[in-house]
Amino acid sequence: MSRGRRKGSLDGLTQREEEAMNLIYRFESCSANEIQKYMSGDLNNATVRTILRTLESKNYTVHNTKGNQFIYKPLIKKEIAASQMFNKLINTFFSGSVTDAVATFIDEDSLNIDKKELEELALMIENFKNKGDK
């Protein structure tokens, strides 16, 4: 099976489409030539343009014309896509348990989270708890 046909993390996207989407998010807007330059593998321009047209047909991107180039921009905000991916990760690997997911990230064997980040997480949790009390 080719790499591009494998399912990606974002709903309905292949790995290649997801890779292109990540580049569009990184650059905020870009042409097929720019995407081709940064995508893994040796893809020709026609393949990259097909990927971009597919993303547009799936309502992930929109394009504007600049000279003779199409410039692609995301239609779905990065935060929404990140939330979708995070929810899929939690459902796939942690049976829907946010507690288990967070425990994995703060486990001393998983990531080295510094004290400041732990304090920020604790503050976020406290603020969220306080919103529920109102």
**Which sign does the torsion angle of CA 109, 79, 88, 119 carry?**
positive
Instruction: Give first-to-last CA distance, the chain, whole Å.
Output: 53
Supply 13's token pair: 């996207």
Q: What is the pLDDT of residues 2-40, one digit of tens each?
A: 454 566 556 678 889 989 999 999 999 999 999 999 998
Which CATH class for the 3-74 domain?
mainly alpha
pTM above 0.75, yes or no: no
Q: Got the DSSP string for 49-77?
A: HHHHHHHHHTTSEEEEEETTEEEEEESS-
pLDDT in tens, 31-90: 999 999 999 888 999 999 999 999 999 999 999 999 999 999 999 888 988 888 788 889
Domain ranges of the chain: 3-74, 94-133
